[in-house]
Amino acid sequence: MKIAIYSRKSKFTGKGESTQNQIEMCKEYAKKHFANIEDFLIYEDEGFSGGNTDRPEYRRMIKDARNGKFDVLMCYRLDRISRNIADFSDTIEILQDNNIAFVSVREQFDTSTPMGRAMMYIASVFAQLERETIAERIRDNMLQLARSGRWLGGRTPLGYKSEPIEYYDADMNKRKMYKLSAIPEELKLVKILYKKFLEFGTLTKLESWTLENNIKTRSNNYFDRKSLKLILTNPVYLIADELAYEYFKSLKSDIACSKNDFDGIHGLMVFNKHQEKKSKIIRKDEEEWIIAVGKHEGIIESKDWIQVQNLIKENSKKAPRSGTGQYGLITPLLKCSCGSKMRVSINKKSYGTYYYYKCLMKERSRGSRCNVKNLNGKATDELIINELKKMAKSDSELMKNLERRRNNISNLKSEAYCKKKELEKELAEKEKAIRNLTIQLSQNESSTAAKYIIEQIENLDKEIKKIKDKLYSINEKEEINLIEKNNLDMIKDLLKHFANTVDDLNFEEKKKFLRQIVNEIVWDGKKLEINIIGQDR
């Protein structure tokens, strides 16, 4: 019987339930409750949170479980495996699928019985409930602090920096809070952006203006419509006056102060504005916002700020759909050499429909940042298909290169096989040496000789660990090479199949095939470069 022991600790420290202590307690428990233990497999993650499974030794342990390398998985406590119910359930399911028992020393759960499984899941539910309750309490405290108008941290908006200020609480204890402090040059730019937006009326025109005038963000990147919209919809710049109060009252926002606090001088702070949903940050409805008057001064008149919001909302309703339909076969794959994507643009004439590909940066900057030539859409699509047909021929440079790489992988496999045999032989010899030394140790009564034998065993044990690490590394590389070999075969097959069937495929089928074969297509104004997925560049 082989027993795997998994230990985890969030921080590197020698205190408390260290990973080594967890391992030793698991070993003691195993020796008392299990017979015929052949080996212990140790998986040790120190400095990793239990909130997710993105841990190197955990991943290795799961991989070994799927390969049937152990019969029992032990841990000191349930939350060492995971603090997340879904992740924990997935782990148990994997173990059950591979007939591996699970034991938690602290809770003494045994998955071989229905009651043991039920109790284990109940314990994991309460562990997550405790974690979520703590998180909820922290959020509530943060929202209560937000009502004071202080800056609670995070990335500061353009035009402001975070500045600490000291104050005394009701018990005359000295405290520290943070407020937003003005950066005059940046605020000057913010005022210009608001003014120009009201002049142009659209984010697209404002974006083009910033590109033409080489105006960049704080991090020295070009502005795009998304970054401009964030600035133009941020109430931090709004001067908190009576009109601002009535505006947010009409939106049914949670206003965390009285009407009198809207003094016509300070700006606003908004909390509970965003939430994470399916790994994306989305903006909440204004009804859920918490509005407080900040400790910084506002810079945009309320009538202008509200006019900007109305314009942005009106424009979003008017925004047309792309309507590209059956045009632009390579749109998702085509990029300009400047790094920007290229989009399909359609012109409908009395004699028919004409379409072409145009660099987005060229369009956004009105030619000031990139002026690469447009591409004839129909001719380019046909050219790409014909080039892929040529690449699919067995005597093409691409096919020769793929076959070369495939042969190299086969050669590496032969070399790895020989190396593995050498290491396995060396491993067997050292393990045999340890067994012999163990026999000598049991028969020797001399303490001096025993000390010498123990040192030899410890040295051999270290050498065995190094050999096992090398074998594990070789196995990992072999798996990676096998995946690459399969990918190369798949690309070859896809190319050949595409070449043979493309003339009979519809538009969507062609597009789907291209996404499976092509990584990207780059246009530099003179030639197109097609980069195949898995191609050795």
Residue found under tokens 């000031």? 368
* Confidence check: pLDDT of 309 > 90: yes
Residue whose structure tokens are 């009979």:
504
Across 94-103, 313-322, 424-433, 481-490, least confident range? 313-322
Q: Tokens 């509530």 appear where?
A: 140
Q: Provide the CA 155 distance to its chain's centre, in angstroms.
A: 19
pLDDT, position 278: 58
Using CB atoms within 10 A of its CB, is residue 314 exposed (0-12), middle (13-18) or buried (19+)? exposed
- Is 234 or 136 the better-scoring residue by pLDDT? 234
Mapping DSSP to helix (H, G, I), strand (E, B) and coil, where does residue 441 land? helix
pLDDT confidence of residue 323: 44
What average pLDDT does range 220-236 have in this prediction?
Answer: 93
Which residues have CB under 8 Å from 208's CB, separation 6+? 364, 365, 366
Could you tell me which residues are beta bridge partners of residue 41?
4
* Alpha-carbon torsion (249, 254, 259, 262), positive or negative: negative
Whether the pLDDT of residue 392 is over 80: the answer is yes
Return mean pLDDT, the chain.
84
pLDDT digits (tens, 9 = 90+) for 87-144: 777 788 788 889 898 888 887 776 655 666 666 666 556 656 666 666 666 556 655 6
Question: What single-letter amino acid sits at 80?
Answer: R
Token reading at 118: 């039920």
For residue 339, the number of C-alpha atoms closer than 13 Å in the C-beta half-sphere is: 2
Computed on alpha carbons and rounded to an integer, the radius of gyration of the chain in Å comes to 33
Question: Phi and psi for 35 in degrees, rounded to 5?
Answer: -110, 160
DSSP string, 78-116: HHHH-SSHHHHHHHHHHHHHTT-EEEETTTTEETTSHHH
3-state DSSP call for residue 273?
coil
Query: What three-state secondary structure class fits 69?
Result: coil
- Sort strands 72-75 and 101-104 into parallel, antiparallel or unpaired: parallel
Average pLDDT over residues 139-167: 76
Residue 244 has pLDDT above 70, yes or no: yes
Q: Looking at residue 80, what is its pLDDT?
A: 87
Give residue 170's pLDDT band: very low, low, confident or very high (50, 70, 90). Answer: low
Residue 204 to residue 210: CA distance in whole angstroms: 10
Which pLDDT score is estimated for 90? 78
Residue 411 C-beta-side C-alpha neighbours within 13 Å: 6
Amino acid letter for position 444: N
Measured between alpha carbons, how far is residue 102 from residues 1, 59, 95, 162, 514 in Å?
A: 14, 17, 8, 50, 46
Q: 37-70, pLDDT tens digit by residue?
A: 999 999 998 888 877 788 889 999 999 999 999 9
277 pLDDT band, cuts 50/70/90, is: low
